[in-house]
Chain A
């Protein structure tokens, strides 16, 4: 199987879906001539032309709304945010327009649109460029929220997102674009809302998604060296959540850690813990713990940034605590 980067996997998905359906177009800042701020759309302008790969002014609210309008009348926009931090300027269109249109129109106007871009922290980008937004988005009925952690998942899920007739927020990771993984040559699509067991073990469960899937896998591999075997349940989609996959794992291991990139308060992780306490109460041998970003804006200084971010040591420590090894 070819090994390619997460970036190229996304590029393939976009290319294939642009080829497959001429209602699909890509729009955003720097997506065309510049090949994308992170080069995800490299070569697409040459192949599909400027009507289908569209550079916009810096006008997030405006072009998100353009996407909504185009989706209302039958096109299938893929709207790129240079990063999700900037999508806040467009949040009215994502939440009040895209997510609610089907409902408030009594089912008349589905919204086949994808909003995508990198989410969360890279390195030393400090307060305004480092936020993980999935908990904001996952709060909203009407949206689907997808956060793939590997090239394979990125490609299969982006294709599914583009084909879905609902609005999908697709969260990538700046630190993931260069990561590599196996991606088959033949076409495949991964259904939204299905978790993937990235590591298997019977001592404890890590539930995670997005970029943290990498951290979880690294933690699991280190723990394995100490003879601790953990399940890594990669949700891949945080709305809807594949609760059955979570329950199956927790009922097997009886111990659970939820790992997320964003802040603790009102996070998706809190929702997962709620699911677990309701459905797996009698199976738990320890309180469910959470690993997350420190409750502060992201600092710039290296040492502080490291302290703020969830990472492998913090995840390992949490696993040991739910196993009462510390």
Chain B
């Protein structure tokens, strides 16, 4: 694994070169937590694919495999009272933020114990306990909402921040530009984090955006901007960490282009490769599997043994199996639930 750590140079939007092991990877206990978080997402998503194939999960289902360093790296830096909002590709962030695998799997199965009581499904994970403000299905639509959360933080004089995840296609929507303008204008404590996996469905970034270094769009809104290698969890932590500090201490927003890759199709109905991207390209990126990179780093640094990796993996597989069993046993929402949650009957 160590041999492939550097990976191949990336086209058009190549991240800063990674020279050897990340410098800030010395904390063995932390690294173990990061590995655990990323591995949980990987094993969870693998089982989702299986559950989808046999019809236990329905609708649209967008897997997160390949992007785990982005969710784990960034969310490992947040406080409990901070906020998270994201797109429909939301299982990874939900788990990394600490929604239980049981609640996420039950949501996917459309069951009453799901984190949205079975009413949201794959694209709409919500959890008040962890300030997880959703999974949103309209490309770009959640970015102004993130600005609104930033506005509310500022309104109350708080020092929380919000991380707003989005795919790179979002930068071409009007909602993105309107939101970033206000965030820049009003100095809102938002981290706008682009998970740049190079494709919006089948459309490559270069075929959709007039500029390819998309973090530069932040310049139009007088906003700090940065980019990093999204396969390297330490690089993500460093770059996003700076943005979080800036948001928390100075109430300054940041736009970050986190360069990653999805190892699966856009959704369960999309082939992994062969139409808009080649098998050869995919294979190149697979060499920079974020979990393999972290594991190799930890092994090189003597922070974990093969046996420990194996044991951790087995433990996580057990957790995911438990989530599956739990979801399977959880009832469907009763028919009375159909008309619940349309309105609340409270006033204030």
* B-binding residues in A (CB < 8 A): 21, 25, 51, 56-57, 59, 61-77, 92-93, 96-97, 101-110, 112, 141-142, 144, 160, 163-166
- B336: Cβ under 8 A from any A Cβ: no
* Distance to closest chain A CB from B181 (angstroms): 6
Query: In the complex, which residues 124-152 of chain B have their Cβ closer than 8 Å to any Cβ of chain A?
Result: 124, 126-128, 133-134, 136-138, 141-152
Asked if A103 contacts B155 (CB within 8 A), the reply is no
Contacts of A68 in B (CB 8 A): 144-145, 148
* Cβ-defined partner of B141 (8 Å) among A25, A70, A96: A96
Contacts of B185 in A (CB 8 A): 57
* Cβ-defined partner of B340 (8 Å) among A21, A74, A75, A107: A107
Contacts of A69 in B (CB 8 A): 85, 133, 144-152
Provide 21 A-B residue pairs closer than 8 Å at the C-beta atoms, listed in order of the A residue.
A25-B155, A56-B182, A57-B181, A62-B175, A62-B181, A65-B143, A65-B178, A66-B147, A69-B133, A70-B148, A72-B133, A72-B145, A97-B142, A97-B145, A107-B341, A109-B128, A109-B134, A142-B343, A144-B343, A163-B347, A166-B343
Stretch at the interface among B109-117, B224-232, B252-260: B109-117
C-alpha gap A87/B341 in the complex (Å): 25
Contact with A along B172-202 (1 / 0, CB 8 A): 0011001101100100000000000000000
Q: A107-B341, A108-B128, A163-B347 are in contact. Are A74 and B152 (CB under 8 A)?
A: yes
Asked if B343 contacts A73 (CB within 8 A), the reply is no
C-alpha gap A144/B345 in the complex (Å): 12
C-alpha gap A105/B115 in the complex (Å): 8
Asked if B141 contacts A93 (CB within 8 A), the reply is yes
* Cβ-defined partner of B178 (8 Å) among A62, A103, A105: A62
Contacts of A110 in B (CB 8 A): 344, 346
C-alpha gap A79/B283 in the complex (Å): 50
* Distance to closest chain A CB from B286 (angstroms): 34
Contacts of A51 in B (CB 8 A): 155
Contacts of A21 in B (CB 8 A): 348
Bin chain B's interface residue count.
Answer: 35 or more
Asked if B152 contacts A106 (CB within 8 A), the reply is no
Asked if B128 contacts A112 (CB within 8 A), the reply is no
Which of B83, B134, B138, B148 has the most CB atoms of chain A within a 10 A radius of its CB? Answer: B148
- B120: Cβ under 8 A from any A Cβ: yes
Nearest neighbor of A66 in chain B, beta-carbon distance: B148
Asked if B152 contacts A65 (CB within 8 A), the reply is no
- B280: Cβ under 8 A from any A Cβ: no
9 further contact pairs, Cβ within 8 A, besides A69-B146, A96-B137, A104-B119: A65-B143, A69-B147, A70-B152, A92-B141, A92-B175, A104-B120, A105-B124, A105-B134, A108-B128
Contacts of B127 in A (CB 8 A): 108
- B92: Cβ under 8 A from any A Cβ: no
C-alpha gap A96/B175 in the complex (Å): 13
C-alpha gap A85/B149 in the complex (Å): 26
Contacts of B290 in A (CB 8 A): none
* Cβ-defined partner of B175 (8 Å) among A56, A65, A164, A165: A65
Contacts of A67 in B (CB 8 A): 148
Please classify the interface of chain B as helix (H, G, I), strand (E, B), loop, or mixed, using the class held by over half of its residues.
Answer: mixed
- B73: Cβ under 8 A from any A Cβ: no
Asked if A72 contacts B149 (CB within 8 A), the reply is yes
Q: A57-B182, A65-B179, A106-B114 are in contact. Are A166 and B174 (CB under 8 A)?
A: no
Contacts of A92 in B (CB 8 A): 138, 141, 175
- B342: Cβ under 8 A from any A Cβ: yes
Contacts of A74 in B (CB 8 A): 152
C-alpha gap A71/B148 in the complex (Å): 8
Asked if A65 contacts B181 (CB within 8 A), the reply is no
Contacts of B147 in A (CB 8 A): 62, 65-66, 69
Nearest neighbor of A76 in chain B, beta-carbon distance: B348
* Cβ-defined partner of A106 (8 Å) among B115, B179, B347: B115
- B118: Cβ under 8 A from any A Cβ: yes
Asked if A59 contacts B119 (CB within 8 A), the reply is no
Q: A64-B144, A65-B145, A109-B133 are in contact. Are A59 and B178 (CB under 8 A)?
A: yes
C-alpha gap A57/B145 in the complex (Å): 16
Contacts of B152 in A (CB 8 A): 69-70, 73-75
Contacts of A65 in B (CB 8 A): 141, 143-145, 147-148, 175, 178-179
C-alpha gap A102/B144 in the complex (Å): 18
Query: In the complex, which residues 216-270 of chain B have their Cβ closer than 8 Å to any Cβ of chain A?
Result: none
Asked if A106 contacts B118 (CB within 8 A), the reply is yes
* Distance to closest chain A CB from B182 (angstroms): 6
Asked if A61 contacts B144 (CB within 8 A), the reply is yes
Asked if A142 contacts B342 (CB within 8 A), the reply is yes
* Distance to closest chain A CB from B128 (angstroms): 5
Asked if B348 contacts A112 (CB within 8 A), the reply is yes
Contacts of B128 in A (CB 8 A): 108-109
Contacts of A56 in B (CB 8 A): 182
Contacts of B126 in A (CB 8 A): 104-106, 108-109
Contacts of B181 in A (CB 8 A): 57, 59, 62
C-alpha gap A163/B346 in the complex (Å): 9
Contacts of A112 in B (CB 8 A): 348
